[in-house]
């Protein structure tokens, strides 16, 4: 296989986003548009990926450097058009031998399989190949004009197209592949004599054909090459990503009763045999093993759930939450940085932060791990088969050993030994007959029109 290289164009202004953030740093499925393109190039096995950024975009430049390394970020001095942008990678790819694919950083959801078709066309003898799609609204896209034999004759930008050409709905996605040397040779011949006075990358097709070379168009689906130019299109891309991600997990054996209400991230891992009820949000870094059930209205970030566990409804799992096999975490329970052991339960209204809960332990309703003193955080370590009574405050750092019981409503500030009962609350006392006497006294005062001292 020929070596592959990628040039990612990220130098556009993105003014239509109307956002203080650079367009390509907006996210779909929890990953920036730029990172999506870089990941695509990696999936295609590109030996080097060059990102083209504008000279006045420090945030994009910094993000690109992190993703591909400083040597692979090049600057387009002025936004003179897509051909000029690719040309900015000329020096970086000097001496590179193989095939290059041009990707737009604002087109996040191109599947690797679509790009593979473009490379396959090159391997099949075409000198240049673009990815095209049938557009529902072709208006501003470049039109792909085909020969009778299906070869690509030209790409005509909407601004230069004849009325007949505007009728064509087969449009240019922007993804283009060619041998590296040929692409940079042809780029020297592009001029800006056109409606926008820009250097059009799309001119490469005509220039290649003038040399007697063959150009091809591969076909992909519209939703795969949706570009992001506005907040509305960003939301549309998110929708497309979510649909695709849900389809992928369901194809893989995940049960979802209302998939349209479940939100996934690009790295969400749901094993076959997971059940997800309606209205669940998976933030970044979540993985769930087979047989786990996620009940409605739950929100997870950087959390793990093991086989057979039941989580939700209304559970919040924050970074470092790890829910063991067959454990139950119920409504209004927040777990952060706590490993919950096999078969343990915290079913109602609790905060478990920084610590561990041993296998088989039961955390009563309203239990709070008091993990923070305003400056530092401390761990709460609960052993196996511990029973924590309802409404207990466990003041960390603290260890409650195997088999211990905590009486309800205790404020526990000292370690509890194995199998001990710890009580830390006022002792109950009862005054017999007191209530009856009280009622008699008060009702007599009321009848007499006398208010006790302080009453209003």
Q: Which residues here bind ligand UD1, judged by CB under 6 A?
A: 9-12, 52, 76, 79-82, 84-85, 104-106, 141-142, 155, 157, 171-174, 200-202, 227
CB of 172 to ligand UD1, least distance (A): 4
CB of 316 to ligand UD1, least distance (A): 37
- Closer to ligand UD1 by CB, 8 or 352: give it: 8
Pick the closest to residue 90 from 235, 209, 188 (CA basis).
188
Pick the closest to residue 17 from 105, 127, 121 (CA basis).
105
Decide: helix, strand or coil at residue 121.
helix
User: Is residue 319 a contact partner of residue 301, using CB atoms and an 8 Å limit?
Assistant: yes
- Closer to ligand UD1 by CB, 42 or 80: give it: 80
CB of 324 to ligand UD1, least distance (A): 46
348 given a catalytic annotation = yes
- Closer to ligand UD1 by CB, 204 or 386: give it: 204
- Closer to ligand UD1 by CB, 80 or 409: give it: 80
CB of 158 to ligand UD1, least distance (A): 8
Decide: helix, strand or coil at residue 54.
strand
- Closer to ligand UD1 by CB, 105 or 270: give it: 105
Beta strands in 1-84 (DSSP E): 4-10, 27-28, 31-32, 48-54, 73-76
CB of 24 to ligand UD1, least distance (A): 8
| 110, 132, 157, 164 from 174: Cα distances, Å | 11, 8, 11, 22
Q: How far apart are the first and last CA of the chain?
A: 91
Decide: helix, strand or coil at residue 67.
helix
| Partners of 304 in beta bridges | 287, 322
Decide: helix, strand or coil at residue 270.
strand
| Dist. CA 322–CA 305, nearest whole Å | 6
Which residues does the annotation mark as catalytic? Answer: 348
């Amino acid at each position: 296989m020929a070596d592959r290289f990628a040039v990612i164009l990220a130098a556009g202004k993105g003014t239509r986003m109307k956002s203080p953030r650079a367009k390509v740093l907006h996210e779909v499925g929890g990953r920036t548009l730029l990172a999506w393109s870089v990941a695509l190039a990696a999936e295609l096995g590109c030996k080097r990926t060059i990102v083209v950024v504008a000279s006045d975009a420090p945030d994009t430049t910094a993000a690109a450097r992190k993703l591909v390394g400083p040597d692979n970020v090049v600057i387009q001095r002025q936004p003179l058009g897509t051909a000029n942008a690719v040309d900015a990678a000329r020096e970086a790819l000097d001496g590179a031998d193989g095939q290059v694919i041009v990707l737009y950083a604002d087109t996040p959801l191109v599947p690797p399989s679509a790009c593979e078709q473009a490379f396959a066309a090159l391997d099949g003898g075409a000198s240049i190949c673009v990815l095209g799609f049938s557009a529902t609204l072709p208006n501003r896209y470049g039109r792909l004009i085909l020969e009778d034999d299906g070869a690509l004759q030209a790409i005509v930008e909407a601004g230069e197209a004849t009325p007949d050409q505007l009728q064509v709905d087969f449009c240019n996605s922007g993804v283009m592949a060619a041998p590296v040397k040929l692409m940079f040779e042809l780029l020297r011949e592009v001029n800006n004599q056109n409606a926008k006075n820009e250097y059009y990358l799309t001119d490469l097709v005509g220039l290649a054909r003038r040399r007697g070379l063959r150009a091809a168009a591969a076909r992909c689906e519209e939703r795969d090459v949706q570009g992001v130019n506005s907040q509305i299109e960003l939301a549309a891309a998110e929708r497309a990503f979510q649909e695709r991600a849900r389809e992928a997990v369901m194809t893989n054996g995940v049960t979802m009763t209302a998939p349209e209400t479940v939100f996934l991230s690009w790295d969400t891992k749901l094993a076959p045999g997971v059940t997800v009820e309606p209205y669940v949000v998976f933030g970044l870094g979540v993985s769930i093993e087979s047989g786990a059930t996620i009940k409605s209205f739950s929100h997870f970030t950087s959390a793990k759930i093991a086989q057979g566990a039941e989580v939700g409804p209304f559970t919040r799992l924050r970074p470092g939450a790890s829910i063991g096999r067959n454990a139950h975490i119920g409504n209004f329970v927040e777990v952060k940085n706590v490993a919950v052991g096999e078969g343990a339960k915290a079913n109602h209204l609790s905060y478990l932060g920084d610590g561990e809960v041993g296998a088989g332990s039961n955390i009563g309703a309203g239990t709070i791990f008091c993990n923070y003193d305003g400056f530092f955080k401390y761990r709460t370590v609960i052993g196996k088969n511990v029973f924590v009574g309802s409404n207990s405050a466990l003041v960390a750092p603290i260890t409650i050993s195997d088999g211990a019981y905590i009486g309800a409503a205790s404020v526990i500030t000292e370690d509890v030994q194995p199998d001990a009962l710890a009580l830390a609350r006022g002792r109950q006392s009862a005054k017999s007959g007191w209530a009856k006497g009280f009622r008699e006294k008060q009702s007599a005062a009321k009848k007499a029109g006398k208010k006790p001292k302080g009453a209003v």
